[in-house]
Amino acid sequence: MSQTHLIEAVVEPLRRHPPFDRLPDAALRALAGAARIRHLPAGAVLFEQGARPHDDVYVVRKGAIAVRREVDGASILLDRCDAGAVLGARAHIAGTPYAARAEAEEDALIVALPYARLGPMLEAHPALALFFAAGFAVGLPRTGERIIEATERARRRWALGAEADEDDRAVMPSRSVLTCAGETTVQAAAQAMAARGVGSIIVADAEQRPRGIMTDVDLRARVVAEGLDPARTPVGDVMSSPVATVAEGVTAVELLGRMMRRRIHHFCVTADGTPDTAITGVISDRDVLSSLGTHPTSLMRRIGQAPDAETLRALRARAERLIARYLEQERAMRFVAGVAAAIDDAATRRALSLALEASGPPPVAFCWLALGSEGREERLLRTDQDNALVYVDPPPAQAEAAQAWFLGFGERVTDLIAASGVVLCPGGVMARNPAWCQPLSRWKATFSKWIRTPEPRALMHADIAFDLRPVEGDRALAEALRDHIFAELDAERGFLNFLAANALRNPPPLSFFRQFIVERSGAHESAFDLKSRAMMPLCDAARVLAHAHRLTVYGSTPRRFRALAAAEPERAGLFEEAAVAYEMLMRRRAQSGLAHGDSGRFVPIDELGTLQRRSLRNIFAVIDEVQGVLRSRFRTDFIR
Amino acid sequence: MGWWSERRARKARAAARAALEGADPRALRYVERPFALDPRSPAERARFVVLDSEATGLDLAADRLLTVAAVAVVDGAVRVADHVELTIDRPTVGAAPIHGLLPRDLAGGTSEAEAMLGLLDHLEDAVLVAHHVAFDGGMIEAALRRIHPALRLWNPRLDTAALARRLELGPLPVQPSRGASFALDALCDRYGVPMSGRHTAAGDALATACLLLVLLARARRQGIVTVGDLLR
């Protein structure tokens, strides 16, 4: 009983942060009992990019650690970690060198936990494995935005426990298992693998009980590298053995821990889960990971078959819960926004096909366009509709009839979408409105008018319309429209200057924020307008610059910035930061929206943690620089 | 406090060894252990045992130790596994109210002699560190004398309060005039050392150990490099 107070003093701060808040006391104490606490003076390096993983995984106890990644000679700041952040775990789990360099930005105290203790816990405590897997289970790189918010997780409900039902579903094994006998030659086995286009073969005995596995890696490392003759070597000599076996009905979460801990890539499913019964299937790491991420696919399939708006509404509500969970699991923003957009599009397509069933075939080909945030694939939650319709110019005699048909169709579609839970646009920016439902020639004329005679009201529409994205129908119509826009921009160069000046109307509140950071206790009554203060400036700038470069990418502001980074290598660092900053803001806004059941536009200032304040301040610095690019490139001063 | 001549220490230990003939083997082991600490070796190479104790009062002669918690600092890191917590079963005098110890908190403790011998086993030849080490060291020494009059605390001692004062105000004893406090709370606050489990011996020992890490880094920057420099 006597040796516990000191360990408790080590445990207590750990327990305040995920994933340690999920560990049972005994495990946490065992871990803390083996901890070492180190002091890093400012500037000292915790680990170097490319170095082999140390014996320990690090938790920041106090101070700040900067995580930087060297890419093509440029050093990109991925993250600033403070209290509670876990560093260096990924390298251990993935068995790769450190992907970034960690350096103390200010004096720091670090708790070092031996991975030899933490690793086995991945298997015993699935929540721990899920925590570390959340970022890269879907095969996406973990980006800075994920790590930077890791330290904030403690303040949020980490909804993996009670609500993890969907992750608890059994993984479906693949039933077509390629097997061979141990005496089979490596060459014959490799030929069988090649014929089936698979990377592994299970070695089984006469009763089909698994004895081992030979994979592409074994072929490389144990046959070719060793100089063995594939025509003479039996598979039994080079296979990996024993093979990991599981019983039917095993869940992804159960497998995840074993997979990560022991770097197992294939599991043999047997009748009783031991190697003593016959093989019934195989589960690969890909199956496990995709089953953690498949729900959107199955949801989208069901959306595609929804018989009515009521069903669509229920499915969209489910999708929204899924998005909420992804946000809480800190999945990469690109993935979350991608899923949300895919679901949005699937629902829109279903509404279109339901409307087509009712309206009959269209008189001419058309293309359905998503506009505004939906066009940018940035609408994480159901807000309101912004859409338009462009159709092939009909013969003059049929122009009126065609317009009537498409307006009726537009009304039907937008009503269906509204019934599925996305309210009609209060500003009327929808394909049911004659201004937003036009043949291609009239659309071209509309854009020409906006570009050649920019006035503030038109500019507001232009902001929405310049983010158009084809969702369904004849994409060539959308592309013809875009080509027209680019041609008009070439002819009327002043428009982008005007758009740039418009994009600068919200300068970042740098001074306000500095003061705000000093006055920690003040300003508690105010809320911060995340949308107009931070997101719109970036979004507007990306739109202007993307059009200046005539970039043909559809989609999100981060995607635009990343395309800009490729187009302007000398500013790649800034644009990459802007992309990450925007993703962080999207996440923050969505989380705030979920927490308060609103659009998330206003964030109560007292809800911002120190780190969020600091990261917001950094984001403002990025916005300031991006706006500087606009200011120097476009003659905005003449216009203002 | 301070470094003492190796020769004098050796003589005192030889006398103690003779006097302790037949005493507890742990006491003998402690006395017979050769002190391997080289004053010229880098300071962070030494093993430090950072300790905090609670006692019935502040009088070295009359008061008694109640709890002692100690954790080692090795190779510049606090090694949590290398710690000891001792509760002394002697609830006859009322504990100082600040510590909030109830008699039942002390139930299951060990005798003072048992606790001290356990502590010696843990100390080995480490540098004993405490905040105001004169008090903790003095209480331990008094307890050791009660076990055997010849038993002394041999370990060199380092006071984190004095070290902080030396680093901030220079080597000469200056009056810390303008209110800079050298209390543990104030120093931890000043040097960014978080505290948990405050006002328990274990919590304070851990905080003091973390403070030592910070002070050692600062000392190195100020040219205090070797064990000898540090204990001077």
CA distance B6 to B14: 12
Nearest CA in chain A to B79: A36
Residue A197 confidence (pLDDT) above 60? yes
Report the pLDDT value the prediction gives residue A3, as an integer from 0 to 100: 46
- Local structure of residue B49 (DSSP, 8 states): E
By Cβ distance, the residue of A3, A63, A107 closest to B85 is: A3
CB contact under 8 A, A10 and B205: no
Q: What phi and psi values does residue B69 have, to the nearest 5 degrees? A: -125, 135
Average pLDDT of the residues of chain B: 82
Q: What's the pLDDT tens digit per position in B103-129?
A: 444 455 678 888 898 899 889 889 999
Can you tell me the mean pLDDT for A407-415?
A: 95
Q: Measuring CA to CA, how many Å separate B149 from each of A102, A564, B111, B141, B220?
A: 53, 81, 18, 10, 39
Helical (H) or strand (E) element with A448: helix A440-452
CA distance A235 to A63: 54
Q: Which two tokens stand for residue B186?
A: 């104030």
Q: How many angstroms away from the CA of B224 is the closest CA of chain A? A: 16
Average pLDDT of the residues of chain A: 81
Nearest CA in chain B to A38: B77
Can you tell me the mean pLDDT for A29-50?
A: 93
Residue bearing the bigger pLDDT, A608 or B227? B227
C-alpha torsion angle, residues A259, A264, A265, A269 (rounded to 10):
-90
- Domain definitions of chain A by residue range: 2-123, 179-293, 295-492, 500-639
C-alpha torsion angle, residues B20, B25, B28, B32 (rounded to 10):
150
- Contacts A113 to B, Cβ<8 Å: none
Residue A418 confidence (pLDDT) above 70? yes
**pLDDT range class, residue A189, cuts 50, 70, 90:** very high
Residue bearing the bigger pLDDT, A515 or B125? B125
Nearest CA in chain A to B200: A5
Report the pLDDT value the prediction gives residue A155, as an integer from 0 to 100: 28
Q: A157-166, A554-563, B87-96: which has the minimum mean pLDDT?
A: A157-166
Q: How many angstroms away from the CA of B181 is the closest CA of chain A? A: 21
Q: What phi and psi values does residue A376 have, to the nearest 5 degrees? A: -85, 0
Report the pLDDT value the prediction gives residue A610, as an integer from 0 to 100: 53
Detail the DSSP E strand segments found in A167-265: 179-180, 200-204, 210-215, 245-247
Residue A33 touches chain B, beta carbons under 8 Å: yes
CA distance A590 to A587: 5
Can you tell me the mean pLDDT for A443-470?
A: 83
- Contacts B194 to A, Cβ<8 Å: 13, 61-62, 83, 109
Q: What CATH number is given for A500-639 in this structure?
A: 1.20.120
Residue A32 touches chain B, beta carbons under 8 Å: yes
Output the CA torsion sign for A481, A484, A488, A490: positive
Q: How many helices (H) and strands (E) does chain B have?
A: 8, 5
Residue A85 touches chain B, beta carbons under 8 Å: no
**pLDDT range class, residue A144, cuts 50, 70, 90:** very low
**pLDDT range class, residue A509, cuts 50, 70, 90:** low
Report the pLDDT value the prediction gives residue A608, as an integer from 0 to 100: 62
Report the pLDDT value the prediction gives residue A301, as an integer from 0 to 100: 72
CB contact under 8 A, B197 and A62: no
The domain made up of B6-231 is a member of CATH 3.30.70.270: no
Report the pLDDT value the prediction gives residue B32, as an integer from 0 to 100: 78
CA-wise closest residue to B121 among B210, B198, B31: B31
Q: What's the pLDDT tens digit per position in A268-320?
A: 999 888 889 999 898 887 777 666 544 566 677 778 888 899 889 988 888 88
Can you tell me the mean pLDDT for A633-639?
A: 66
CA angle A375, A380, A383 (to 5 degrees): 75
ipTM for the complex?
0.87
Nearest CA in chain A to B220: A41
Q: Are B128 and B230 in contact (CB under 8 A)?
A: no
Whether residue A114 is preceded by a cis peptide bond, meaning omega within 30 degrees of 0, is no
- Contacts B196 to A, Cβ<8 Å: 9-10, 12-13
Can you tell me the mean pLDDT for A582-604?
A: 76
CB contact under 8 A, A34 and B109: no
CA distance B188 to B192: 6
Detail the DSSP E strand segments found in B56-131: 65-74, 77-87, 127-130
Q: A151-160, A269-278, A488-497, B73-82: which has the minimum mean pLDDT?
A: A151-160
- Domain definitions of chain B by residue range: 6-231
Report the pLDDT value the prediction gives residue A157, as an integer from 0 to 100: 29
In chain A, % of residues over pLDDT 90: 35
The 3-class secondary structure across A291-357, one letter per residue, is: HHHCHHHHHHHHHHCCCCHHHHHHHHHHHHHHHHHHHHCCCCHHHHHHHHHHHHHHHHHHHHHHHHH
Helix (H, G, I), strand (E, B) or coil at B73: strand
Report the pLDDT value the prediction gives residue A252, as an integer from 0 to 100: 72
Report the pLDDT value the prediction gives residue A609, as an integer from 0 to 100: 58
**How many CA atoms does the CB half-sphere of A434 hold within 13 Å?**
5
CA distance A510 to A621: 7
Can you tell me the mean pLDDT for B208-222?
A: 94
Q: What's the pLDDT tens digit per position in A554-585?
A: 888 999 999 999 999 999 889 988 998 898 88
CA distance A171 to A292: 9
- Local structure of residue A609 (DSSP, 8 states): -
Report the pLDDT value the prediction gives residue A82, as an integer from 0 to 100: 80
- Local structure of residue A170 (DSSP, 8 states): B
End-to-end CA distance of chain A: 73
Q: Which of A1, A5, A58, A110 best tests the B interface by mutation, with the highest count of B CBs <10 A?
A: A5
- Contacts B69 to A, Cβ<8 Å: 5-6
Residue B147 touches chain A, beta carbons under 8 Å: no
Can you tell me the mean pLDDT for A422-436?
A: 90
By Cβ distance, the residue of A2, A36, A106 closest to B79 is: A36
Report the pLDDT value the prediction gives residue A483, as an integer from 0 to 100: 94
Q: What CATH architecture applies to the domain A2-123?
A: Sandwich (2.60)
Helix (H, G, I), strand (E, B) or coil at A113: strand
Report the pLDDT value the prediction gives residue B21, as an integer from 0 to 100: 74
Residue A451 confidence (pLDDT) above 50? yes
Residue A462 confidence (pLDDT) above 80? no
CB contact under 8 A, B194 and A63: no
Residue A159 confidence (pLDDT) above 90? no
Give the right CATH number for A179-293 from 3.10.580.10, 1.20.1440.230, 3.30.230.10, 3.40.50.300. Answer: 3.10.580.10
Residue A148 confidence (pLDDT) above 50? no
In chain A, % of residues over pLDDT 70: 82
**pLDDT range class, residue A165, cuts 50, 70, 90:** very low
Q: Are A583 and A378 in contact (CB under 8 A)?
A: no
Q: What's the pLDDT tens digit per position in A71-126?
A: 777 777 777 778 888 888 877 776 778 888 999 988 999 999 999 998 888 777 76
CA-wise closest residue to A456 among A493, A505, A414: A505
Residue B194 touches chain A, beta carbons under 8 Å: yes
Q: How many angstroms away from the CA of A82 is the closest CA of chain B? A: 13
Q: What residues does A87 pair with on adjacent strands?
A: A58
Q: A159-168, A320-329, A392-401, A585-594: which has the minimum mean pLDDT?
A: A159-168
Q: Measuring CA to CA, how many Å separate A116 from each of A56, A85, A102?
A: 8, 19, 21
Residue bearing the bigger pLDDT, B180 or A370? A370
Q: Are A479 and A376 in contact (CB under 8 A)?
A: no
Q: What's the pLDDT tens digit per position in A528-548?
A: 677 877 888 999 999 999 999
Report the pLDDT value the prediction gives residue A210, as an integer from 0 to 100: 93
Residue bearing the bigger pLDDT, B32 or A598? B32
Residue B101 confidence (pLDDT) above 50? no
By Cβ distance, the residue of B69, B192, B193 closest to A6 is: B69
CA distance B196 to A37: 14
Report the pLDDT value the prediction gives residue A402, as an integer from 0 to 100: 95
Residue A55 touches chain B, beta carbons under 8 Å: no
Residue A147 confidence (pLDDT) above 80? no
CB contact under 8 A, A36 and B69: no
Give the right CATH number for A295-492 from 3.30.460.10, 3.30.930.10, 3.20.20.70, 3.30.70.870. Answer: 3.30.460.10
Q: What contacts 24+ positions apart, CB below 8 Å, involve A152-156? A: A152/A609, A152/A611, A152/A612, A153/A17, A153/A18, A153/A84, A153/A330, A154/A16, A154/A17, A154/A18, A154/A21, A154/A84, A155/A609, A156/A328, A156/A591
Q: What phi and psi values does residue B50 have, to the nearest 5 degrees? A: -95, 130
Residue bearing the bigger pLDDT, A599 or A311? A311
CA distance A69 to A430: 44
Can you tell me the mean pLDDT for A32-56?
A: 93
Residue B108 touches chain A, beta carbons under 8 Å: yes
Q: What's the pLDDT tens digit per position in A234-243?
A: 999 999 888 8
Residue A433 confidence (pLDDT) above 70? yes
**pLDDT range class, residue A636, cuts 50, 70, 90:** low
Detail the DSSP E strand segments found in A327-460: 366-370, 387-391, 437-439
Residue A362 confidence (pLDDT) above 80? yes
Q: Are B113 and B148 in contact (CB under 8 A)?
A: no
CB contact under 8 A, B210 and A37: yes
